[in-house]
Chains A and B, each alone.
Chain A
Amino acid sequence: MLLLAAFAVLFLVLPLAGLVVRAPWGSLWYELSAADVREALRLSLLCSVSATALSVVLGLPLAWVQARLVFRGRALLRGLTLLPIVLPPVVGGVALLTAFGRRGLLGQWLDAAFGVRLPFTTAGAALAETFVALPFFVLTVEGGLRSVDRRLEDAARTLGAGPLRVFWSVTLPVVRPSLLAGAVLCWARALGEFGATITFAGNFPGRTQTLPLAVYLLLESRPEAGIAVSLVLVAISLAVLVVLRDRWLRAW
């Protein structure tokens, strides 16, 4: 048992060690400050933060509905919400094309009515990231909402708070750890998104080429740069884990 467990640890750690060993430490800063890498970093931040914001705006009401309302088909709805987590991201991208593409269900209408075209645009990249990352936010916040002591909300009502005020000044603050944890998970997932983005938004430098997409191309042309960027993504992931554990997952 112990031997196999040790192999498992080795299996998980070795690739990371490989990254660290092969990283071009001497020219790290040089590689990361290259124009195309900086552009990809900027796009990645822009898209992942937009995707997180959109996930919060759309995901909070959805999490609330799933946690609080009792209705027929709730199990089905939850299944649908979780689907993007298990769906191959490429399929997600294809599905987005069929919905928001120029010939898509909603896409052709958006194009005709507003001249809005999402595929192969920065907004499209953010949308693809949202599609894949939203479930992480919904799942985390729904769990948080379910574990709120509903009687705290009763107490607020007896003190004169209407339903909206109860939600804003009691429910939301009490689930804050879940909100933050959900947002961080969602952001990390959006930041690493590859399959859906490249399928729906393409790989255009400066427009839709986010860090993971850049790494993919850099490995062909400038492997050192690819490893350097990968290292940055590893560092961000580790930071997310540490932050979640130390600060935001702590209960009141």
Chain B
Amino acid sequence: MNLLAAVRVEYAAFTLDVELAADAGEVVAVLGPNGAGKSTLLAALAGLAPLARGRIEVGGRVLADRTAGVSLPPERRPIGVVFQDYLLFPHLSALDNVAFGLRCRGLARAAARARARDWLARVGLADLALARPAQLSGGQAQRVALARALAVEPSLLLLDEPLAALDVHTRAAMRRALSDRLAEFGGVKIVVTHHALEAIALAGRLVIIEQGRVVQSGTPADVTARPRSAWVAELVGVNLVRGRAAGEQIALTGGATLIAPGAGSGEVFAVIHPRAVALHRTRPEGTPRNVWRARIDGLDDEGTRVRVRTSGPLAIVAEVTPGAVAALALDQGGDVWVSVKAMEITTYPA
């Protein structure tokens, strides 16, 4: 029951062009900034957005194939969708919400309700069977939505920001619960989110989408260690630069040069952790080989650490202690010397 999808959706001002493959049982998180096309991707998989090009196949069954002129309507796809704000039917009880899909598949009312009751019990909501959606908390609504999507026993489960509608206090607990429930489901699971922590907690593999294209995919460890876009780097909290390497030197796109041993050759990314960036009042003497003068654009207090945003030949963020801010008299608009030890720079091919 694997998923093989090549999806191209064209809107007036936006094009989504993404390839996505996932195995049965696997949870893949589609991660990206708002407007990257994540929800459009889900809509295309569900049959709610028309393909301009491409093909979608689940477990050997073709759901859509543009060249063959095939496109099953949503009601004939073996899918279950948990929508962003759950979209429970407001006029139906929790039980009848879960029974809805079974009724559509031809089950009699009593049989559908009996099975729906089982599903509600499985998500721990047996006693709220008769509650209307308006009476449910966000977490309960999410579980009803999950039960409703799973009740039809889909091959492909699509979840659109499943935790975004919850308040901060319940989110961590709901994340663990959702992760456990997803583990019980044997089909392909695609979770769309803009929240890195959610993606890492829920999924074994991340697919990063920006502006309608896949910019990176891999395990969470992979992606966080070697970000390939500014957005991912910011998510992970590291400095990312790109340039052309030759020997120990990297000629950056902005014109500056970094020294990093073993930089290799050709186009490379270089990651510099903010804690590896040192700030000085005067030009530092000694070992650091990457030294430049910069202007402080701003300071972000993060409690035990302060992130100092600087601009110069190279825009870079340094992370220092509040004590260092005081000792160096760092202030927005002021000048400062920046140094990065060559050994602290990680490079990999772009």
Q: Which residues of A line the B interface, CB within 8 A?
A: 149, 151-152, 154-162, 165, 169-170, 173-174, 176, 252
Contacts and interface: CB of A to CB of B under 8 A. Distances in A.
Contacts of B89: 152, 155-156, 170, 173-174
Nearest to B154: A158
A155 B149 CA distance: 9
30 contacts: A151-B87, A152-B87, A152-B90, A154-B46, A154-B48, A154-B74, A154-B83, A155-B81, A156-B89, A157-B47, A158-B47, A158-B77, A158-B81, A159-B100, A159-B104, A159-B149, A160-B75, A160-B76, A160-B101, A160-B152, A161-B100, A162-B73, A162-B75, A170-B89, A173-B89, A173-B92, A174-B89, A176-B91, A252-B90, A252-B134
Contacts of A155: 81, 83, 87, 89
* Most chain B CB inside 10 Å of its own CB: which residue of A149, A161, A173, A176: A161
Task: Classify the secondary structure of A's interface with B.
Answer: helix
* Most chain B CB inside 10 Å of its own CB: which residue of A154, A158, A160, A174: A158
Contacts of A160: 75-76, 101, 104-105, 152
B27 interface: no
Given A151-B83, A159-B148, A173 B91 contact: yes
Contacts of B104: 156, 159-161, 165
Contacts of B87: 149, 151-152, 154-155
A155 B97 CA distance: 11
Nearest to A160: B104
* Most chain A CB inside 10 Å of its own CB: which residue of B46, B80, B104, B132: B104
Contact of A157 (B73, B80, B134, B152): B73
B271 interface: no
A156 B90 contact: no
The bracket for how many chain B residues form the interface is 20 to 34
Nearest to A152: B87
Interface string B49-80: 00000000000000000000000011111011
Contact of A174 (B76, B80, B90): B90
Contacts of A159: 75, 80, 100-101, 104, 148-149, 152
Given A151-B83, A162-B75, A252-B91, A156 B100 contact: yes
Contacts of A152: 87, 89-90
A170 B46 CA distance: 19
Closest 5 CB pairs of A and B: A160-B104, A159-B101, A157-B74, A252-B90, A173-B91
A149 B85 CA distance: 11
A73 B11 CA distance: 25
Nearest to A151: B87
* Most chain A CB inside 10 Å of its own CB: which residue of B89, B134, B148: B89
B91 A158 contact: no
A158 B134 contact: no
A184 B104 CA distance: 32
A174 B92 CA distance: 10
A230 B48 CA distance: 55
Nearest to A149: B87
* Most chain A CB inside 10 Å of its own CB: which residue of B73, B74, B92: B74
Interface in B312-343: none
Contacts of A151: 83, 87
Contacts of B81: 155, 158
B90 to A, nearest CB: 4
A157 B75 contact: yes
A206 to B, nearest CB: 43
Contacts of A176: 91
B58 to A, nearest CB: 14
A165 B81 CA distance: 18
A162 B89 CA distance: 16
Contacts of A169: 100
A165 B74 CA distance: 13
B113 to A, nearest CB: 15
B91 A157 contact: no
Contacts of A149: 87
B335 to A, nearest CB: 53
Contacts of B75: 157-162
A252 B46 CA distance: 28
Nearest to B151: A159
Contacts of A170: 89
